[in-house]
Amino acid sequence: MIIGVLNQKGGVGKTTLSVNIAAFLAQEGSRVLLIDADPQGSCLDWAATRKDEPLFSVVGLPRASIHKELGQIGAGYDHIIIDGPPRVTDLARSAIMASDLVLIPVQPSPYDIWAADEVVQLIQEAIVYKSDMKCAFVVNRKIANTAIGRDVREALAAFPVPILEATVTQRVIYAEAAALGKAVFEIDAAGPAASEVSALVAELMEFTK
């Protein structure tokens, strides 16, 4: 399966989700490729920081030809995660066209909700050519026990895109793990962050059946 993690707004946690989804799938025994399609190269930086053996392969491909090159680059992998660019560009369109599922992370902020409209429009354009492609919102960096954390689902319901039940809470461990080039389950396998990622991956796998 090819999962594109995209939102035209920067700072929504695309790279954090991409790395941890890829790591969890790899931990379960899958052969995983993470494609860094963001010109900033954050996934490549994460991989370069890591001191331990790699959990999965990471390649940089910030080109608007991802959907054409993926057949060759992705050969032999069970799952491919694409960390998309933070702007609506030909590169974003190519990442969407390459994906079986587009995951749209949205923070519980009015700005993020307003910005979601552009990536939804891109996906709708792509579905014309790739009718079996799926997409879903995931609430990321949710702040526990706040009204805006609860209200974001109501705001997203206005879009013609499903909202995953699994959410990811804002936690320091995500930044701590990233600084070490690790996934959250490598820092605290039994902690709430690892449980959140596990639930998200399980729902993604079920969603694409």
**What count of Cα atoms within 13 Å lies in the side-chain half-sphere of residue 19?**
27
The residue written with tokens 């954050």 in the block is: 42
- pLDDT at residue 7 above 90? no
What is the CATH classification number for the domain harbouring 39?
3.40.50.300
Q: What are phi and psi of 133, to 5 degrees?
A: -70, 140
The residue written with tokens 């969603």 in the block is: 207
- pLDDT at residue 10 above 70? yes
Q: Given pLDDT bands bounded at 50, 70 and 90, which one contains residue 87? A: confident
pLDDT tens column, 129-178? 999 999 999 999 888 776 666 678 888 988 999 999 999 999 999 999 99
| pLDDT score, position 171 | 94
| pLDDT score, position 148 | 67
What is the domain range of residue 35? 2-207
Domain count along the chain: 1
Could you write out the DSSP letters of every residue in 74-108?
TTT-SEEEEE--SS-SHHHHHHHHH-SEEEEEE-S
